[in-house]
A and B are shown apart, each in its own frame.
Chain A
């Protein structure tokens, strides 16, 4: 009984702890950022950050490496674009169409990919997303090489004019934070615990009676849906949807972002996405090809800090103290 009491006390959370403060600072920084930086760039970072976090839900917390996440991101961008431009949907409904489409794609691709494990599963995601790429190349509604252009941002809920960059920014920020909250909630839930146990030892999870395929498929669809949210937002931010977003390079980019930031950390992919997007922007005007720079950074990362930026921070002594508390809630 004594031990019972001790367990209970160790799981009680302090009201205000370091993480809460850091979270507050982060959100405040994001709220103030558009007054100091170019909003379009910030929105791009947020979209990719959400995309990477969605991807990380699958890789970091379930142990499935998808090399076809561009299908969900870019697919949703097309669906949102089409719904808004051709059907005259409001932006929030357009994004819902995108998310629904991405979820459906996730259901199909995930259903087939989780039949196999490891590299075989990854190859299936790559193959299917490439099939989707060629579908997008041929299908009339995507307008092939031209893509869907001049997508109207419209009025959110009918009265918030998203043509205003600042309104658009806060719309994207809200969606981003909502997406992050969903991910945080899922990984710190009973379901997230089962996902972790499947990642740790799949056979053991099976022998405990868990139909791992269903749990994996659930995570796959959630990840696809959130990637779809990111893709839909990006289509509205840039007001176009193109083949770039469904290409395999995009699938590779999100892997890179996640690895650089830190697999299996909640905020790591955000920093990874910021770094990759930032470098892309910075070197866009320089003579040095950006792929060379990100390639070198990636090699340094793999050689020197394998856990990624945030992953290394967590592994440090300060980080271990933080994460231990994190595990207990």
Chain B
């Protein structure tokens, strides 16, 4: 796997995002009739979602539309009130979140989730420990983790953080923390990647870098992302699902969706004309 070559020219040509969802790609994550209530409030209602292999799927919608709740439901950080979720061929509706992550559905968080007092290198190594069978040994010295360094450094180089490896993650800028979180997530080589606003709060340069990384990693896995940066969504995503008040308004390729009158009224109209 060569994620290091995140060059914009090469990737994306095989299945251009503009062409819309490619129905020939297998569905890896699917939800049917997803519903979640908080007390009497219905945050998510009757959401059907199909995320396909090697496609970038965007989940957009105005604030409070329930995007993050859908993320929490899919990754099992929240239990759905009703509905089913399938990952590959497994029903994960009642599976606990750590198990879901081990099955290959890995998420990032809206608020940057790093281990602040661990070094940048250790942040990535923690992710590598479990897949490499080095998580439960309480009798081995820390040196035993050094064999993870090579892979960890590769990942850090992919996202351009190699020179910061010994800094505490807390000292990184906000955008850099997001990038580190992405590298940590990629360490698990997930089959499905759920990114909650991966570009929020990033500087202009980072946005481009991260968008290209996402494009590159999506050639080998499914990506579902919540994102407000519509330019990136238009450029990157094969399919766009619009959520409003917890329900799906419409779903399709970016052009179709963006021309939908209801979507323009609900969300894009003022922003994209």
* Binary flags per residue of B103-137, CB closer than 8 Å to A gives 1, else 0: 00011110001111111011001110111001111
Q: Hey, which chain A residues are within 8 Å of B2, CB to CB?
A: none
> A4, A10, A193, A329: which contacts B129 (Cβ < 8 A)?
A193
Q: Judging by beta carbons under 8 Å apart, are B134 and A190 in contact? A: yes
Q: Does A186 contact B (CB under 8 A)?
A: yes
> A3, A191, A205: which contacts B138 (Cβ < 8 A)?
A191
> A189, A197, A215: which contacts B141 (Cβ < 8 A)?
A189
Q: Judging by beta carbons under 8 Å apart, are B115 and A197 in contact? A: yes
Stretch at the interface among B62-70, B142-150, B256-264: B142-150
Q: Does A110 contact B (CB under 8 A)?
A: no
Q: Does B41 contact A (CB under 8 A)?
A: no
Q: Hey, which chain A residues are within 8 Å of B136, CB to CB?
A: 190-191, 194, 215, 218
> A8, A189, A209: which contacts B101 (Cβ < 8 A)?
A209
Q: Hey, which chain B residues are within 8 Å of A192, CB to CB?
A: 138, 142
Q: Judging by beta carbons under 8 Å apart, are B138 and A186 in contact? A: yes
In the complex, A7 Cα to B163 Cα: how many Å? 11
Given contacts A7-B149, A204-B109, A207-B75, A185 and B139 within 8 Å (CB-CB): yes
In the complex, A194 Cα to B116 Cα: how many Å? 14
Residue tally, chain B, CB below 8 Å to A: 48
> A11, A189, A196, A215: which contacts B139 (Cβ < 8 A)?
A189
In the complex, A191 Cα to B102 Cα: how many Å? 18
Given contacts A189-B138, A190-B137, A210 and B130 within 8 Å (CB-CB): yes
Given contacts A4-B150, A7-B153, A196 and B118 within 8 Å (CB-CB): yes
Q: Does B165 contact A (CB under 8 A)?
A: yes
Stretch at the interface among B45-53, B92-100, B218-226, B238-246: B92-100
Instruction: Classify chain A's interface size.
Output: 35 or more
* Binary flags per residue of A314-329, CB closer than 8 Å to B gives 1, else 0: 0000000000000111
Q: Judging by beta carbons under 8 Å apart, are B162 and A208 in contact? A: no
* Binary flags per residue of B161-179, CB closer than 8 Å to A gives 1, else 0: 0100110000000000000
Q: Does B140 contact A (CB under 8 A)?
A: yes
In the complex, A207 Cα to B192 Cα: how many Å? 13
Within 8 A of A (CB), among B185-227: 188
Within 8 A of B (CB), among A183-221: 185-186, 188-194, 196-197, 200-201, 203-212, 215, 218
Q: Hey, which chain B residues are within 8 Å of A204, CB to CB?
A: 109, 113-115
In the complex, A263 Cα to B137 Cα: how many Å? 23
Residue on A nearest B156 in the bound complex, by CB: A3
In the complex, A263 Cα to B135 Cα: how many Å? 24
Q: Hey, which chain A residues are within 8 Å of B129, CB to CB?
A: 190, 193-194
> A4, A11, A203, A218: which contacts B113 (Cβ < 8 A)?
A203
Which of A3, A201, A212 counts the most B-chain CB atoms under 10 A from its CB? A201
Q: Does B55 contact A (CB under 8 A)?
A: no
Q: Hey, which chain A residues are within 8 Å of B165, CB to CB?
A: 3, 7
In the complex, A261 Cα to B98 Cα: how many Å? 35
Given contacts A188-B141, A329-B142, A200 and B115 within 8 Å (CB-CB): yes
Given contacts A204-B109, A204-B113, A189 and B142 within 8 Å (CB-CB): yes
Q: Hey, which chain B residues are within 8 Å of A201, CB to CB?
A: 113-116
Q: Judging by beta carbons under 8 Å apart, are A200 and B116 in contact? A: yes
In the complex, A4 Cα to B149 Cα: how many Å? 8
Q: Judging by beta carbons under 8 Å apart, are B117 and A200 in contact? A: yes
> A188, A207, A222: which contacts B106 (Cβ < 8 A)?
A207
In the complex, A218 Cα to B138 Cα: how many Å? 10
Q: Hey, which chain A residues are within 8 Å of B184, CB to CB?
A: 208
In the complex, A222 Cα to B136 Cα: how many Å? 13
Given contacts A207-B97, A211-B98, A196 and B115 within 8 Å (CB-CB): yes
A-B CB proximity, top 8 nearest:
A209-B101, A191-B138, A200-B115, A204-B113, A209-B102, A211-B98, A190-B134, A197-B126
27 of the cross-chain contacts (CB-CB < 8 Å) are A3-B153, A7-B121, A7-B146, A8-B146, A8-B149, A189-B138, A190-B140, A191-B137, A192-B138, A192-B142, A193-B125, A193-B145, A194-B130, A197-B126, A200-B118, A201-B115, A203-B77, A204-B114, A207-B106, A207-B113, A208-B127, A208-B184, A209-B106, A327-B119, A328-B142, A329-B141, A329-B143
Residues of B within 8 A of A (CB): 75, 77, 96-99, 101-102, 106-109, 113-119, 121-122, 125-127, 129-131, 134-146, 149-150, 153, 162, 165-166, 184, 188
